[in-house]
Amino acid sequence: MRKRIQEKSITISLYILFILIPAIYNAQSSPPLIVNDPGTPGPGNWEINILSSFEHSSLTTEWEAIVFDVNYGVGERIQLTIESPLVYVWEKELNEFRGFDGLGVGMKYRFLDQEDHGSDISVYPQFYFPADIKNEGWEFNLPFEWHKEWTNFGITAEVGQVWLNGKLNRWESGVGIAYLLNKIKLLASEHIIISKDPLEIVEPIVEAGMI
């Protein structure tokens, strides 16, 4: 849920996803990608994911060994989310084990459905409270997601703003794609972070994954 800024770097992420509760296969683009889609689990349904991700840039290497991502559907259009990662970081030859790095909570609301309007559109307000909140500060992320789906292919776009300790810190946007190949879902996305001061692109992120 949280995206760290690594100044003027390119991050490449690879994901492995284990789903504890079976879900209906479709061409949505997340999880585990940073780009979220408007999909929700459905009324009374749980979606519990255990993710593992590896990120490398010119400045740091970060391994989220385990990310617990728990989602619960309230009605057809609302999703409640809680997330917590177990993190290892290598930075300039300094190895660091952070342990559980914080807690993220969010609520997704899909206010347009593809069946009626041709596309799914949602808003997904999220809070992130890091373990070292005194030094890092809490974040509030307010993104909007759009998704269009065909038989075996889907495309998702997301754009939003991020506040750090109540002040606008940056803008984030991304595009993700998903392709169904038999019972395997192939995922890819590009995510861009734009800082507010100075106004510049600071971290393009390219991701790939499969379920």
The answer to whether the CB of 86 falls within 8 A of the CB of 109 is no
pLDDT digits (tens, 9 = 90+) for 60-84: 777 777 788 899 999 999 999 999 8
pLDDT category of residue 200 using cuts at 50, 70 and 90? confident
Q: For residue 21, what is the DSSP state?
A: S
ω into residue 198 within 30 of 0, thus cis?
yes
Structure-model confidence comparison of residues 157 and 89, the more confident one: 157
pLDDT band with cut points at 50, 70 and 90 for residue 180: confident
206 CB-near residues (< 8 Å, 6+ apart): 10, 11, 12, 13, 188, 189, 190
What's the mean per-residue pLDDT of the chain? 80
Q: Determine contact, residues 123/144, Cβ cutoff 8 Å.
A: yes
Q: Is the pLDDT of residue 131 over 90?
A: no
Q: How many helices (H) and strands (E) does the chain have?
A: 2, 13
Between residues 187 and 156, the one the model is more confident about: 156
Distances (CA, A) of 96 to 5, 60, 83, 154: 18, 11, 21, 38
126: exposed, middle or buried (C-beta count within 10 Å: 0-12, 13-18, 19+)?
Answer: buried
According to the model, what pLDDT value does residue 204 have?
80
Whether residue 176 is predicted with pLDDT greater than 60 in this model: the reply is yes
pLDDT at 62: 74
Handedness of CA 184, 41, 177, 205 (dihedral sign): negative
Residue range 11-210 forms a domain whose CATH class is mainly beta
Distance separating the N- and C-terminal Cα atoms of the chain: 19
Closest CA to 117 of 146, 79, 155: 146
Domains of the chain: which residue ranges? 11-210
- Report the pLDDT averaged over residues 136-140: 93
Where does residue 207 rank: exposed (0-12), middle (13-18), buried (19+ CB within 10 A)? buried
Highest mean pLDDT among 28-37, 95-104, 111-120: 111-120
Q: How many residues does the chain have?
A: 211
For residue 141, name the pLDDT band (cuts at 50, 70, 90).
Answer: very high
Q: What is the pLDDT of residues 28-54, one digit of tens each?
A: 545 557 788 899 999 999 988 777 777
Match 């993190």 to its residue by tokens.
Answer: 87
pLDDT (mean) for 145-162: 93
